[in-house]
Amino acid sequence: MKDTLIKVDNIKKSFKINKRANGLPGHIANLFVPKYEMRKAVDGINFEIKKGEAVGFIGSNGAGKSTTIKMLSGILYPDEGNIEIAGFIPYKQRKAYVSNIGVVFGQKSQLSWDLPIIDSYELLKHIYKIPYETYEKNLKQFTELLDMSSFIEQPVRQLSLGQRMRADIAASLLHSPNLVFFDEPTIGLDVVAKERIREFIRYINREKGITIIFTTHDMQDIEKTCSRLILIDKGKKLYDDSVNGLLEKYSTQRKLKVEFEVDYNIEPIENVVIENKENNKKVFSFSNQNVSIKSLISDLMGRYEIKDMSIEEMDIESVVRKIYEGGIKIS
């Protein structure tokens, strides 16, 4: 049984927000008698993460996701509750704690802009006091796996976005952390570059047992790298279970795409929306809570000559969007 690496117990965090009346009078009054209100960013979140798990941590803008991640990484401290990670309290033992984690920001590089990548790595070697053998072994392995040999001697400013992200990911792993935070590591990348990074993240999680916390707005990143999903909104946890479980439980909308032998005039079907397409094709949209896919297929095959058919499920991005919009209620 895997050991618990991260334990988050009822954490809360509020921020003091300046509350100012509109217009010039309000601005002037605020200069002399400023008014504030407390706004909850995180409101009683609990979870545990085992060693070696790959967890997607997502939330819409303002949901409290970034605040929670900053508390986990030791940048912020909670107003209430406790966080313990690998035996450390991040915000109390930050210096010792950060030597055990890696952080990758898709929009901010940790590498020196004008230095060759290898020189930045040498600096990190000294900052983290990485043993020579560990450094050499990791450098060689990550250079090969991320295909960086052709540009490792180049300054960061000369790299493409995809190259820079690969270099940043390697930098975050040189000191052999047991936990890595990935924040939008594929943002702005093309399909090929995204898949290369996703494959590498799967590798370090699977083969090295590194625990992954992945925050992103690209739900394919989550679907392709993580087995577990924590979903928060308005400072509270909405969902904490497997990625597949979210789809199985809340992917209610389906489409049956059918190509008929001829262009039939299909009779109306209760609770099913029928769309006519070109070349004798039609799309049947329905909720699996109201319509049995097995019965629908059986009915169509009994009435009409069918050439081909396929079923299209809701993807994870559609499910999450509907949850945020209130179209799906989490139970």
User: Is 313 in a helix, a strand, or coil?
Assistant: strand
Which residues contact residue 320 at a Cβ distance below 8 angstroms, ignoring those fewer than 6 apart? Answer: 58, 219, 231, 246
State the DSSP code for 76. Answer: S
Show the low-confidence residues of the chain (pLDDT under 70): 1-2, 18-34, 36, 327-328, 331
Cβ contact 54:26 at 8 Å: no
**The predicted structure's pLDDT at residue 9:** 96
Q: Tell me the C-alpha distance between 297 and 287, whole Å.
A: 14
Which CATH number is associated with domain 253-313? 3.30.70
Every domain of the chain with CATH number 3.40.50.300 lies at 4-11+43-248
**The predicted structure's pLDDT at residue 162:** 92
Say which CATH topology domain 4-11+43-248 has. Rossmann fold (3.40.50)
**The predicted structure's pLDDT at residue 300:** 95
Neighbours of 319 (CB within 10 A): 22
pTM value is: 0.82
**The predicted structure's pLDDT at residue 1:** 41
Every domain of the chain with CATH number 3.30.70 lies at 253-313
User: Is 168 in a helix, a strand, or coil?
Assistant: helix
**The predicted structure's pLDDT at residue 26:** 60
